[in-house]
Amino acid sequence: YEEFLTQTKREEFQKDDGWKPLDEQEIYSQQEYEAFERQRQEEIQRLIAQGVV
């Protein structure tokens, strides 16, 4: 318990950067998304060619 209280007195513990909602953060760049989309389309075409889908 004492260890916890000691840690809460540290300067970095007092600093709060807050939260950013997910819709305000760019998770993937447009280029990363387009690369994923191409890869997924190729995978789907391969599965169709194999008769899996």
pLDDT of residue 33: 95
Rounded to the nearest integer, the mean pLDDT of the chain is: 89
pLDDT of residue 12: 80
User: Is residue 12, in this structure, part of any structural domain at all?
Assistant: no
The span from the CA of 50 to the CA of 42, in Å, is: 12
Q: Which residue has the higher pLDDT, 13 or 9?
A: 9
User: Is residue 38, in this structure, part of any structural domain at all?
Assistant: yes
Q: Cβ(1)–Cβ(8) under 8 Å?
A: no
pLDDT of residue 35: 98
**pLDDT per position as a tens digit, 22-40:** 788 788 899 999 999 999 9
Query: Which residue range(s) make up the domain with 52?
Result: 27-53
* Reported confidence tier of residue 19, pLDDT bands at 50, 70, 90: confident
Q: Cβ(44)–Cβ(53) under 8 Å?
A: yes
Q: Name the region of 26 (left: φ>0; alpha: ψ -120 to 50; beta: rest).
A: beta
Cα distance between the two ends of the chain: 58
Total domain count for the chain?
1
